[in-house]
Amino acid sequence: MAEQSGGSKKLLWIMIILVLLSSAGAAVAIYMVVDQRNDGSEDAEMQQAMELESPIFMRIEPFTVNLADDSYGSRLLYTGVTLRVGNEGSKAILEEHMPQVRSRLLMLLSGKQADELTSSEGKQQLAQAIVDRLNVPLTENQPPLDLREVLFTEFIVQ
């Protein structure tokens, strides 16, 4: 009989260990499932927020500008510009003051030489110069404009 009680104790300990291991395994599985659900909902919310914010573009009618004289003489630039703005307020301000916007662009471009504008780097510098020029307030007490990018939709130097 002594042997049977020793075997029963071993069997009892083995069963307790198996129950504890299976409980721990179940807890880990539940944790992983809940964690995946939270990650998925956060990703879905972030993706939905990114989809809701569509870009706001403002097209400026193309125009022709006399460039500064260079070694080839008088040159022309025909360009179309589209601005990407961050909010509708900035777009409304620019549309309301379009004659001033076009004038600033014409003044900026007419001071450039053709060789400055033909390279990719020159166009990038011009885009930054346009942002800088348009960020100067167009009227008193104007809120700051949210200009994100200058896009050249047409660009011909002749």
Residue 148, class by beta-carbon neighbours within 10 Å (0-12 exposed, 13-18 middle, 19+ buried)? middle
Kindly state whether residue 21 falls inside one of the protein's structural domains. no
pLDDT at res. 54:
86
Arithmetic mean of pLDDT, 84-102: 93
Q: What share of the chain has pLDDT > 70, as a percent?
A: 86
**Domain that includes residue 70, residue range:** 56-157
Other C-beta atoms closer than 10 Å to the C-beta of 83 total 23
Is residue 127 a part of any domain in this protein?
A: yes
Decide if 140 is inside a domain. yes
CATH number at residue 85: 3.30.479.30
Strands (E), the chain: 56-66, 76-85, 147-157
In a domain, 106, yes or no: yes
Q: Is the pLDDT of residue 1 over 50?
A: no
What are 111-154's pLDDT values in tens digits? 888 888 888 999 999 999 999 999 999 888 889 999 999 999 99
**What pLDDT score does 131 carry?**
94
Q: Which residues pair with 130 in a beta bridge?
A: none
Determine, yes or no, domain membership for 47.
no
pLDDT of residue 12: 86
Per the DSSP assignment, residues forming a β-bridge with 151 are 82
**For residue 38, which amino acid is it?**
N
pTM: 0.65
**Per the structure, how many domains does the chain have?**
1
Q: Residue 133 domain-assigned?
A: yes
With beta carbons less than 8 A apart as the criterion, state whether 101 and 136 touch: no
**Hey, what amino acid is at 153?**
T
The answer to whether residue 32 is domain-embedded is no
> Which DSSP helix (H) or strand (E) runs through 92?
helix 88-96
Is there a domain that residue 1 lies in?
no
